[in-house]
Amino acid sequence: MARTGTEATLISVVVNNYNYARFVGRAIESVIDQSDSATEVIVVDDGSTDASRDAIAQYAPQVKTIFQENGGQAAACNAGFARSGGKWVIFLDADDMMLRGSLAQLRSCLDDGVARISWQLRTIDADGWQGQSPEKPIDTSDQRAQLAAHGPMTISYASTSGNAWSRRFLSAVMPAPTEAFRYCFDGYLAHLVPFHGPTVAAAMPLGAYRLHGGNAWGGRSAFEQRDFDRRIYPALARLVQERLTAHRIDHDPTRWRQSYWELLDSFERAVEKCVPPNAPLALIDEDRLSVTEALFGRQRHFVSMKDVPWQGNPVNAEEAIAAIDALRAQGVRYLAIFSHSLWWRDCYPGFFQHLGRIARLLQKSKVGEIYQM
């Protein structure tokens, strides 16, 4: 494959903003402060009603700006892409950030034969506090087989701010449908990119995902997301079917039953079966379920030494063990691990060895694991 990681390769960063006046400046600065002369920044304000316009105007003429009526995330990204000229394009949510030195690291990955470069995102809070915990590994496998067997919403991918897309790929699939993808624009691209080329992973996190309580997507509970997923599932299913058929890959949509919301339904049934009502329940889910106090009528506790809502994964197995032992000392006797966090087995083997000594496995399936401690 031909490397393209030179200073002449233009990278476009499209910052999409809606009512994030308090964060958009930090997103812009996280790019322009990197002194990368071959990077352009395009900021699209999607009809904000707060002070975003004034916040964005401070950075002219360092950035290109687009102010449009509210049309949703896809509409904003469509407009930004149409204005861009880079061979590689990053869509940066206005409440997120690029990490210092990330563009230089990204340049070492640029490759003409690749459709997407993905990276892990550090978690930060509203004030920019950043943890140092490990992140879920990036899936660089050929996901077409997974899509053919199980359908949409069953693949893993980095969220919007965790990807650089080749212009070759984007030119083939943009503009994105605006009504179906007012949210989850990243899902639209992620379900199409496996049919256009491979994905490679950057060696380190290049960006930061901000949890601030008002996230347009991450701030919704998993069950609110489930209801939204049910609305966009038909659009994704049509896209995937079209691509599988065009690539002559065998598939049977009638067997696409284990989508993400069905995982949630199954997980709910498993918890209700194994954990008594109102019982304290420790939950490992990386905040996927976005539940702060109760889960299916059970008292939810965070597996964290900070005694605050989830702010990242443990630094190591010892920290995870200390957290679960502290919960046991408080009287918590049940632990549920959601399927998306089962990668902890590979990252924290000592934690699961400890569980083997202090807990009894009640249920193990593709939806997760439930223990009595």
Close Cβ partners of 212 (under 8 Å, ≥ 6 residues apart): 23, 95, 125, 126, 219
Close Cβ partners of 100 (under 8 Å, ≥ 6 residues apart): 30, 33, 34
Q: How far apart are CA 22 and CA 210, in angstroms?
A: 12
- Residue 312 is predicted with a pLDDT of 61
- Residue 258 is predicted with a pLDDT of 53
Phi and psi, residue 92, nearest 5°: -105, 120
Q: Which helix (H) or strand (E) holds 157?
A: none
Could you list the pLDDT tens digit for every one of the 373 residues in the chain? 333 444 469 999 999 999 999 999 999 999 999 978 899 999 999 999 999 999 999 998 999 999 999 999 999 999 999 999 999 999 999 999 999 999 999 999 999 999 999 999 988 776 766 655 556 689 999 999 999 998 998 888 999 999 999 999 999 999 999 998 988 899 999 999 999 999 999 999 999 988 765 655 555 565 666 666 777 888 999 999 999 999 999 999 888 865 556 777 788 889 999 999 889 998 887 666 655 555 666 777 767 544 444 456 787 899 899 989 999 999 999 999 988 788 888 889 999 999 999 999 999 988 899 999 9
SS3 at position 72:
coil
What DSSP character marks residue 111? B
Residue 32 burial (C-beta neighbours within 10 Å; 0-12, 13-18, 19+): middle
Is there a contact between 129 and 210 (Cβ–Cβ < 8 Å)?
no
- Residue 233 is predicted with a pLDDT of 84
Query: What are the contacts of 291-300 at 24+ separation with CB within 8 A?
Result: 291/221, 291/222, 295/271, 295/336, 296/268, 296/271, 296/272, 297/272, 298/271, 298/334
Length of the chain: 373
Tell the residue number behind the tokens 């089962």, with chain if given: 342
Q: How far apart are CA 72 and CA 46, in angstroms?
A: 7
Secondary structure E strands in the chain:
11-17, 39-46, 64-68, 88-93, 97-98, 116-118, 121-124, 163-166, 199-201, 207-210, 280-284, 294-295, 298-302, 334-338, 360-365, 368-372
- Residue 36 is predicted with a pLDDT of 83
Both tokens of residue 98? Answer: 């690029």
Q: How far apart are CA 345 and CA 265, in angstroms?
A: 23
- Residue 123 is predicted with a pLDDT of 82
Secondary structure E strands in 47-108:
64-68, 88-93, 97-98
pTM of the model: 0.74
- Residue 292 is predicted with a pLDDT of 54
- Residue 308 is predicted with a pLDDT of 45
SS3 at position 80:
helix
